[in-house]
């Protein structure tokens, strides 16, 4: 069975993009809004950076946060296994 495809237009950093994929439009909009907010935070913190560098730094910051959460999750799983 083929997954349904959705076309979603998002705005990030003042630029509009149309995305085609199988992720629910509401989720894509939420992801775009979260990234856009992180991008704006990075722009405020480092106003002299070019838009490309700001985007890269925002992406790296989000990736670091994701990695930290993934590691925390693995530690929690290990703790749960020890308790059982």
Return the pLDDT at 3. Answer: 86
Query: How many domains does one find in the chain?
Result: 1
Is 40 within a domain? yes
Among all chains, which residue has been given the structure tokens 């704006």?
40
Phi, psi of 20 (to 5 degrees): -115, 125
- Residue 70's DSSP bridge partners are none
Which two three-digit tokens encode residue 55?
A: 């985007």
Is 71 within a domain? yes
Is 1 within a domain? no
Position 1 pLDDT exceeds 90: no
Position 75 pLDDT exceeds 90: yes
Is 11 within a domain? yes
Q: What does the pLDDT look like over 2-36, one tens digit per residue? A: 789 999 999 999 999 999 999 999 999 999 999 99
Q: What does the pLDDT look like over 30-73, one tens digit per residue? A: 999 999 999 999 999 999 999 999 999 999 999 999 999 999 99
Distance separating alpha carbons of residues 13 and 49, to the nearest angstrom: 14
Residue 10: C-alpha distances to residues 1, 32, 44 (Å)? 28, 6, 22
Domain range enclosing 28: 6-83
Whole-model pTM: value is: 0.84
């Amino acid at each position: 069975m083929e997954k349904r495809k959705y076309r979603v237009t998002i705005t990030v950093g003042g630029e509009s993009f149309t995305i085609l994929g199988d992720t629910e439009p509401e989720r894509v909009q939420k992801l775009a809004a979260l990234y856009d907010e992180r991008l704006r935070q990075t722009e405020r913190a480092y106003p002299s950076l070019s838009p490309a560098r700001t985007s890269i730094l925002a992406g790296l910051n989000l990736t670091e946060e994701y990695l930290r959460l993934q590691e925390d999750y693995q530690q929690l799983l290990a703790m749960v296994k020890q308790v059982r």
